[in-house]
Amino acid sequence: MTAVLELSNITKRFGALTANENVSLSLAQGEILALLGENGAGKTTLMNILFGHYEADEGEVRVFGDPLPPGKPRAAIAAGVGMVHQHFTLAGNLTVLENVMLGSEPLGRLRSDTAAARKKLMAISERFGLPVDPDSKVSRLSVGERQRIEILKALYRDARILILDEPTAVLARPEAERLFETLRGMTKDGLSLIFISHKLHEVMAASDRVAVLRGGKMVAERTTALTSPAELAELMVGRRVERPVRQDQSIGAPVLVADRVTVTDDGDTKLDDVSFTVHAGEILGIVGVSGNGQGALGALLSGLMHPSSGTLTLDGIDAGHLGPRGLIRAGAARVPEDRHAEGAVGEMTVWENAVLERLRSTEFSKSGFVRRTDARAHAADLIKRFDVRGASPDTRIRLLSGGNMQKLILGRCLATGPRFLLANQPTRGLDEGAIAAVHAELLAARAEGAAILLISEELEEAVQLSDRIQAIVKGRLSQPVMAGEADSRKLGLMMAGVWEDSDAA
Amino acid sequence: MRLERRETVPLALVATAPLVAIFAALVLAAGLIGAAGVNPLSAYAEMLRGALGSRLSITEMLTRATPLILTGLAAAVAFRARLWNIGGEGQFYVGALVTAWIGHSLGLPGPIGVAVLMVCGMAAGAVLLAGPAYLRLRFGVDEVVTTLLLNFIVILFIGLMIEGPLRDPLAFGWPQSVPVDGDYRLPDLVPRTRLHIGLLFAIAAAGVVWLVLTRTVFGVETRAAGLNARAAAFAGISLPRTIMGVALVSGALAGLAGAVEVMGVTGGVTTTMSPGFGYAGIVVAMLAALHPAGVVAAAIFVATVFVGADAMSRATGVPSFIADVIVALSLLTMLVALLFTTYRLRR
Q: Per-residue confidence of chain A (505 residues) as pLDDT tens digits?
A: 578 899 899 998 877 778 888 999 999 999 999 998 877 788 888 888 888 888 888 888 899 888 888 888 888 888 999 888 877 888 888 899 888 888 777 766 667 778 888 998 998 888 887 888 889 888 888 777 888 888 888 888 888 999 998 888 777 677 788 888 888 888 888 899 999 887 888 888 889 999 999 888 899 899 999 988 888 888 888 877 778 888 888 889 999 999 999 999 888 899 999 999 999 999 999 998 878 889 999 999 999 999 999 999 999 999 999 999 999 999 999 999 888 889 999 989 999 999 999 999 999 999 999 999 999 999 999 999 998 888 889 988 988 888 889 999 999 999 989 999 999 999 887 777 788 889 999 999 999 999 999 999 888 889 999 999 999 998 999 999 998 888 878 888 888 887 764 444 4
The correct answer on CATH 1.10.1760 for the domain covering B2-346 is no
For A455, counting Cβ atoms within 10 Å of its Cβ (0-12 exposed, 13-18 middle, 19+ buried), the class is: buried
Distance CA(A120)–CA(A124), nearest Å, equals 6
Distance CA(B209)–CA(B203), nearest Å, equals 10
CB contact (8 A) between residue A323 and residue B236: yes
- In degrees to the nearest 10, what's the CA dihedral of B338, B339, B340, B342? 90
B216 contacts chain A (CB < 8 A): yes
Q: How many CA atoms lie within 13 A of A277 on its CB side?
A: 11
- Measured between its terminal Cα atoms, the distance across chain A in Å is 55
pLDDT in tens, A194-227: 998 878 888 888 899 999 998 888 998 999 999 8
Distance CA(B301)–CA(B68), nearest Å, equals 10
CA distance A171 to chain B (A): 27
ipTM above 0.90, yes or no: no
Q: Are A279 and A451 in contact (CB under 8 A)?
A: yes
Per DSSP, the three-state class of A300 is helix
Distance CA(B203)–CA(B220), nearest Å, equals 22
pLDDT in tens, A323-355: 999 999 999 999 998 888 899 999 899 999 999
pLDDT in tens, A411-444: 999 998 999 999 999 988 777 778 888 999 999 9
CB contact (8 A) between residue B230 and residue A16: no
CB contact (8 A) between residue A303 and residue B7: no
Q: Residues of A with CB below 8 A from B221's CB?
A: 359
- Helix or strand run (H / E) with residue A163: strand A161-165
Q: How many CA atoms lie within 13 A of A103 on its CB side?
A: 13
CA distance B16 to chain A (A): 20
User: Which of B141, B118, B86 is CA-nearest to residue B278?
Assistant: B86
**What pTM value is reported for the model?**
0.79
- The residue length of chain B stands at 347
Per DSSP, the three-state class of A455 is strand
DSSP tally for chain A: helices H, then strands E: 16, 23
Q: At B47, phi and psi to the nearest 5?
A: -60, -45
Residue B153 Ramachandran class (φ > 0 left, ψ -120 to 50 alpha, else beta):
alpha
Domain extent listing, chain B: 2-346
Q: Residues of A with CB below 8 A from B220's CB?
A: 352, 356, 359, 370
pLDDT in tens, B98-123: 999 999 988 888 889 999 999 999 99
* CA distance readout (Å), B99 to A15, A218, B93, B115: 55, 73, 10, 11
A324 contacts chain B (CB < 8 A): yes
Among chain A residues, CA nearest to B8: A399
Distance CA(B216)–CA(B210), nearest Å, equals 10
Among chain A residues, CA nearest to B236: A324
Distance CA(A354)–CA(A408), nearest Å, equals 7
User: Is the pLDDT at B141 greater than 50, yes or no?
Assistant: yes
Mutate to test the interface with B, among A302, A345, A376 (most CBs of B within 10 A): A345
B289 contacts chain A (CB < 8 A): no
B344 contacts chain A (CB < 8 A): yes
Domains assigned to chain A: 3-237 (3.40.50.300), 254-495 (3.40.50.300)
Among chain A residues, CA nearest to B1: A55
The pLDDT of residue B346 is 64
The residue type found at A229 is P
Q: Residues of B with CB below 8 A from A14's CB?
A: 4
Distance CA(B172)–CA(A347), nearest Å, equals 57
B341: how many CB neighbours lie within 10 A of its CB?
Answer: 18
B235 contacts chain A (CB < 8 A): yes
User: Which of A455, A459, A453 is CA-nearest to residue A495?
Assistant: A459
The residue type found at B101 is W
Question: pLDDT band for position B2 (50/70/90)?
Answer: low
* 3-state SS record for chain B: CEEEECCCCCHHHHHHHHHHHHHHHHHHHHHHHHHCCCCHHHHHHHHHHHHHCCHHHHHHHHHHHHHHHHHHHHHHHHHHCCCCCCCHHHHHHHHHHHHHHHHCCCCCCHHHHHHHHHHHHHHHHHHHHHHHHHHHHHHCCCHHHHHHHHHHHHHHHHHHHHHCCCECCCCCCCCCECCCCHHHCCCECCCCCCCECHHHHHHHHHHHHHHHHHHEHHHHHHHHHHHCHHHHHHCCCCHHHHHHHHHHHHHHHHHHHHHHHHHHHHCCCCCCCCCCHHHHHHHHHHHCCCCHHHHHHHHHHHHHHHHHHHHHHHHHCCCCCHHHHHHHHHHHHHHHHHHHHHEEEEC
Distance CA(A109)–CA(A120), nearest Å, equals 19
Q: Are B212 and B218 in contact (CB under 8 A)?
A: yes
Among chain B residues, CA nearest to A57: B347
